Chains A and B, each alone.
Chain A
Amino acid sequence: MNEYVLFFFIPLAWFVTAFMIEAGSVVMIPVCRYENYREKMLIVIGSLWAIIATSLVYLVVSLDTIFAPVMFVTGSVLYAPLMVLIIMLAFHHFSIGVAEGSSTLGKHSMERTFLVLALPFALIVAFLGNTLFTSVFSGYGFCVHNLLTLDITPNYTQMIFNAFNWVFFIGVVMYVVYFTVVFYGIKERLLVGALGLTLANILFLVSTYEWLPVVFNSAVNNAGFWIYIVILYAYLYIATTRNVPFRQAWIFLLTFIGAMMFGAFTQGRILEDIVPAGTVGPLPGVPASLLLTNAATLTAGAIVLGMAGLLVLGGITAVSYKVLYKVATERVETKKATVK
């Protein structure tokens, strides 16, 4: 696979993984009746929203830099879900921003109200993001008139309501259930986590078998994939029954690796269900490398984006999250001590 195509999966995987933490809390807040975990979830969301926002910026700019010609796809096919996504994100940002302000001013009930208000918008953003993702890789929703000139029009009904989109999204939701149980170490929900992971694996395998055969075949024939699946189950048990140092960081890393593996298994092919094998190479679909930006801009841009990935995402994000999370936890402990 082209190295720039593979590089693009880094900001994509990062954003997806970071967003899962927030999305996971949507799933688990109603499921978890334990006040202990709800408080922790609210702390995490409050600490993470800025990192999620910047990850999205990183993703969009990476898309712009690496795949300049994709503008003709975003502009003529994907514009509607992208624009709706931004409306949802605006409300999401607004709610989180107000929650943060409330938190700093000690208005905790307002903080909680607005964090809960932000979460449904996060779910909608997740669904729209999934729709865009599945549409690009499968081609559902793309009406191709001339591939060479990127003369493509959208079919939004097909884009949103195709079976692949829903099966894959439910698989993602099931994985988020597992992720959240592990992330927060919710031992009371160990079986729920195991069920979530199992359903996610089944749904991912079934959907890719049916609609993304390149991904399916790459995955099942890769020993690393199966080892990774075993590790996920093992870590579920360890994270919920033992006190694991850096528990959250490990599941974050595992999920990030999983998303990167998915990217690698695509072998850089998109539109797999509408472009038959043999049209552009032996595999179905179109190589994404055909949509790369010119070499000079790509090289210069990739250096800067790489720096952003290494220096900022890796280093400063971890430090600031640690600071924010630590401060938020202290505040909760102080509040509990005051109540007692």
Chain B
Amino acid sequence: MSLEIFDRVLAGYTMATHVLFTYWAIALPFFIISAEYLAYKKNDPYYLAIAKRWSVVMAVLFAVGSAAGAAIAVEFITVWYKWMYLVNQIDILPFDIEVLAFFSEVIFLALYLYGWDRMSRTAHMIVGGLIGLGSSASGVLIILVNSWMNTPTGFNIEAYLQSGQLTGVDPLSAALPIAALAEVPMGLAGAWFVGFGSIAGYFAFRKLTKKDMTTDEKEYYNRGLKLATYLGALDAIFLGWAGDNAGKTLYLYQPLKLATLEGVMQTAAGAPMQVGPISIPNMLSLLATWPPNPHATVLGYSSFVQADWDPIWYISHTAYDLHATLGIIGAIAVWILAYSFWKQPKNALFKAFGLDNPAENKIPLYAMFFLGWLQVVAWEAGWVGAETGRQPFVIWGPMVQTASGLYEIQAVMLTADGFNNSPEVLPIGISIMVALALAVAGTIYMLKKLFTGKEVSADVSSARLIMATNAGGSSSLNIKRK
């Protein structure tokens, strides 16, 4: 394996490990404070038990996620240091602001964990919301840098391409690149959807596999399942718009990347959408344009110089198809399930699929389990599609038309020019990959061990006691209570 390939694999692996935890960091706070809110509003100890147990999960996952984040930050300055040099010179501002967001996340997480019964309920929920705000902001800010790599701005690109000199640097302009219009909503909506989907998948899994469930356990898992499904259904509206918007933005500002993701080899008016072996006529033109135009011209690889074709376009296209397919099926499923929870429809069609009582019937539970966890695959596949779809460039550039009529990308940096070719990177990089794998496996094992002997019933009983005390008593720490 060449060092260029290894460096890409290493960065991809570390990023994939990091994003495996980031969606939890972004989605879990909102799930937890929703549960906490419902606990107080309905005087329901089950929701309180959900909030308390899942806040511990959030803490453990945060620790490992931030370790992977630190790993990728160090890889940026060691393995991809040539790229990082340019980022530091032009687009470091989002990273600087992300420090504030990360701090907020960490500090408010600590306050939330230790603030149960030590601050007012409203203050506690606000602190929980601030965790989510911090983690979401962190995600947005990092995505802004990724967006800049796709549509670089904030410096004199032409001068840089001609002479290699950096001039006209405007960090504020660099912080808000046009590709962010596509990436930021997609990243946020996706993170929330994967988070809520996988939480629902977990509760469904427990309903399917736990034997001799007590009443308390049943009520606990049912509520968690319902809450995660409702939140997923809400976010799916945002997700649907975000996905559509991303396609339209790519059509306008990065047509070569759209061609890679959609596997468009030939420029065509009325371009079809290709999903695996299925070709839907005119669909890509229809979806990519606004107002919708089924006869619009979509640029394919045939309109670009061959040197700019993504050599691994098939990986990007396949990953993107997987991502979109799982996402769309997941969104439709979660809407149906949310509707079923809400209305408990009794008509024959819904009953045939067990949707008259989705928390108790096997078909909807299996659907939630599989589709919920498949959203993790969708999430990773989306990032694989996006990052392999940027090749052969690590920082894109303006699209210009050559004398032959073909388009070319005047890239700021090719991937081949950005990697670290020191041989020691290989053994140390492999060690990092092993360490991260151990950390992930260890985290899953430790989460299981942490909750061994910590039955749901015990937490529900404890929550019941807390709610009974709060109804009539006062805090020994003299904190205001509602």
Contact = CB atoms under 8 A, between A and B. Distances in A.
Interface stretch (A21-29, A211-219, A248-256, A303-311): A303-311
B429 to A, nearest CB: 7
Nearest to A309: B99
Contacts of B63: 93-94, 96-98, 100
Interface in A273-305: 293-294, 296-297, 300-301, 304-305
Nearest to B88: A68
B73 interface: yes
B67 A72 contact: no
Contacts of B471: none
B243 to A, nearest CB: 31
A98 B84 CA distance: 32
Given A60-B74, A105-B450, A304-B97, A297 B424 contact: no
A323 to B, nearest CB: 6
Contacts of B172: 300
B439 interface: yes
A143 interface: no
A174 to B, nearest CB: 29
Interface string B219-256: 00000000000000000000000000000000000000
A300 B446 CA distance: 42
Interface in A311-327: 311-313, 316-317, 320, 323-324, 327
Interface residues on chain A, size class: 35 or more
A59 to B, nearest CB: 10
A157 B446 CA distance: 38
Interface stretch (A76-84, A178-186, A188-196, A202-210): A76-84
A107 interface: yes
B64 A323 contact: no
Contact of A86 (B55, B74, B114): B74
Most buried by A among B66, B96, B109, B171: B96
Contact of B93 (A57, A100, A300, A320): A300
A294 B103 CA distance: 26
A90 B435 contact: yes
B428 interface: yes
Contact of A54 (B92, B102, B436): B102
Contacts of A316: 103-104, 107
Nearest to B452: A107
A94 B443 contact: yes
Contacts of A110: 449-450
B289 to A, nearest CB: 37
A61 B70 CA distance: 11
Contacts of A80: 424, 428
A87 interface: yes
A50 B109 contact: yes
Given A74-B77, A98-B446, A324 B114 contact: yes
Nearest to B175: A300
Nearest to A87: B435
A308 B454 CA distance: 39
Going nearest first, the 10 A-B pairs with the smallest beta carbon separation are A97-B63, A75-B81, A68-B88, A79-B78, A93-B67, A304-B96, A71-B85, A71-B81, A312-B103, A300-B171
Interface of B: 55-56, 59-60, 62-64, 66-68, 70-71, 73-75, 77-82, 84-85, 87-90, 92-93, 95-100, 102-104, 106-107, 109-111, 113-115, 118, 166, 169-172, 420, 422, 424-425, 428-429, 431-432, 435-436, 439, 442-443, 446-447, 449-451, 454
Given A50-B110, A79-B428, A323-B114, 5 more contacts: A60-B74, A79-B425, A87-B432, A90-B436, A301-B93
